[in-house]
Homo-oligomer: A and B are copies of this chain.
Amino acid sequence: MNAQSSVDYGVGARFSVAVMADDYADIILTALAEADSSGLEVTTDDVSTHVSGTEDRILAYIGAVIAGCARSGHHVSVHLLLSRGCPGELACELPPDTLAQGAEPPQLPVAGITAAAHWSLYPLQDGAEGDHMRHIYAAIEHARELGVEVRAEHYATRLDGDLNAVLQTLAAAWLMVGREVQHVVSHATLSLNSPTAKPGNNANNQPSAR
């Protein structure tokens, strides 16, 4: 196994943030400008934003952009994709069974903003002996340790908690599974400030901001 830098190893993310307000463009552009992108390569187009760098910087940056948008008080919906172990575009450019240097799960401060997520984690390229569910159960146990409420739903696991605890859960699971599986992808839809969030859906009694 050769140690790989995060960029060589294809560590990165795509995310799109939607702010449901007439002044969405100003809110998103301000949040992007105020978030610290040092050490990252960030490319935005009309569909989503691609971010590559180390895991902790990626998560801190995305957390800051989402928090900046959510502090407007408007309803915010996010689609987040985390990927590792498959650099390149259509085809992976790494030989199979290459494992990355094991980064520690990012530590993020409490955001003070409640988020709900529908989260899916896909261990890919884990070979014939792969046991997806073992990795996924471990990841869900870790989420509970982070104070995030966890509930299974169809095609996704629901997470409710502080925005940064939810993001730490996603990142920790992605990294934990990545210690054994080369190509690990995670997708999540996050919802913040939803007017239809119910207290019963949410560990932290999410307020309706609108």
Residues of A participating in the B interface, judged by any CB pair closer than 8 Å: 12, 14, 16, 18-22, 24-25, 45-48, 50, 52, 75, 77, 79, 81, 83, 86, 88-91, 116-118, 120, 122, 124, 127-128, 132-133, 136-137, 140, 152-158, 185, 187, 189-191, 194-198, 201
Contact = CB atoms under 8 A, between A and B. Distances in A.
Given A14-B155, A47-B191, A90-B136, 7 more contacts: A19-B20, A45-B196, A46-B194, A47-B117, A48-B118, A48-B156, A90-B152
Contact of A91 (B79, B90, B127, B133): B133
Contact of A154 (B12, B25, B116): B12
Given A20-B24, A75-B24, A191-B46, A14 B156 contact: yes
Contacts of A24: 20-21, 75
A46 B201 contact: yes
A132 to B, nearest CB: 7
Given A18-B20, A20-B21, A154-B14, A46 B198 contact: yes
